[in-house]
Amino acid sequence: MTAPARTRSSAELIRAEEPVLAHNYHPLPVVVARAEGVRVEDVEGRRYLDLLAGYSALNFGHRHPALIEAAHRQLDRLTLTSRAFHNDRLAGFAERLAALTGTDMVLPMNTGAEAVESGIKVARKWAYDVKGVPDDRATIVVAADNFHGRTTTIVGFSTDETARRGFGPFAPGFRIVPYNDLAALEEAVDDTTAAVLIEPIQGEAGVIVPDDGYLAGVRELTRRAGCLFMADEIQSGLGRTGRTLAVEHESVVPDVVLLGKALGGGIVPVSAVVGRREVLGVLHPGEHGSTFGGNPLAAAVGTAVVELLETGEFQRRAEELGAVLRDGLAALTGKGVVAFRARGLWAGVDVDPALGTGREVSERLMREGVLVKDTHGSTIRIARR
């Protein structure tokens, strides 16, 4: 018999994973057992500053008291109904989230990838029902170096060979253009285009911030072409960049916004597709669904997340602390930092390859009590509460 988990050391727990856990991740060798705010603690009681923030799933830090309280209250009343019945938390969540994001309608889902899949379905349905694209001809234009999740459809339009190789055949109907290139986008859009799907800032690619004017250009181009602008704000949204949505930096309003990660407050997976009634209204009963999407626990936590964002405190804080982060990184440029890109409390940092790979730098920072994650090559990514 194996010993109970709490009696095992970090090293023993890491070794225990190897034979029983699929090897689809290569985590840093730290075993987290407790957390609060920006601090996490490992099995041995060593404390770390969390500068990953769960890839933006922890925009309010670990176990924010208001979110934990909302979850506890809901756990004591009702946790799941399925959408076969109404539940008393969903209307309020949808109203508050629509108001926060300045739109009319919400399609609640669970994970980010599901929000992306749902957004693709909505865009295609809209193309056939509203735009009049011939059956099965709809196309969606995406950007190179995108990250939108891990389903077979989504990795099918990834340009990351590691994410794709071995998982085909893939769904057709996607066109890939370089990111931050309006001329290439213009070229790719035609009468069959349902939507342009992009990240306002490419997170996994290394926190790539497009040129000023790019997002406004995408908005203008999609309006002219009569297709939807679908912004994947799963990582960039909900306070991360100093605004509720990253598109607000260019005062842009997309037709469809995909949300996830922080929407679940670091407690439960909660995602959503939000957009205008003319777009999300294309779905009718039976055409799309999810057993867990919009469940009362998710709705209660999601509502508490929206309440935190309604105060504007987290957006302000991300902007103010983001300036400190930028100054710090600027001071390190030429002293180990080759280049960096930052917006709000979010940065991609290209470390001098002579200091090691992103992975090696992350491991060294871990030994100094700071948790970050590498992306590609010698780039690390920083996101904190």
Active site residues: 147, 232, 261
Residue among 222, 235, 362, 378 that touches ligand PLP (CB under 6 A): 235
| 183: its two tokens | 């001329």
First to last CA, the chain: 40
Find the binder of ligand PLP among 59, 111, 193, 222 (CB under 6 A).
111
Closer residue to ligand PLP (CB): 234 or 308: 234
Cβ neighbours for 195, distance < 8 A, ≥ 6 positions apart: 119, 120, 123, 126, 127, 140, 141, 222, 227, 228, 229, 230, 255, 256
Restricting to residues 261-280, which ones interact with ligand PLP according to CB under 6 A? 261
119 binds ligand PLP (CB under 6 A): no
* Candidate list 113, 122, 231, 247; residue touching ligand PLP; CB under 6 A: 113
Sequential DSSP letters for 327-357: HHHHHHBTTTEEEEEESSSEEEEEE-GGG--
Gap between the Cα atoms of 366 and 21, Å rounded: 23
The answer to whether residue 199 forms part of the interface with ligand PLP (CB under 6 A) is yes
Instruction: Report the distance separating Cα 57 and Cα 37, nearest Å.
Output: 13
60: DSSP letter: T
The SS3 call for residue 38 is coil
- Under the criterion CB under 6 A, does residue 231 sit at the interface with ligand PLP? no
For the CB of residue 373, give the shortest distance to ligand PLP in the complex, in Å. 12
Q: Which is nearer to ligand PLP, 16 or 163 (CB)?
A: 163
Distance CA(348)–CA(366), nearest Å, equals 17
The minimum distance between CB 333 and ligand PLP, in angstroms, equals: 26
Is 254 a binding residue for ligand PLP by CB under 6 A? The answer is no
Rule CB under 6 A: say whether 149 interacts with ligand PLP: yes
Is position 142 an interface residue for ligand PLP (rule: CB under 6 A)?
no
Binding site for ligand PLP (CB under 6 A): 55, 111-113, 116, 147-149, 199, 203, 232, 234-235, 260-261
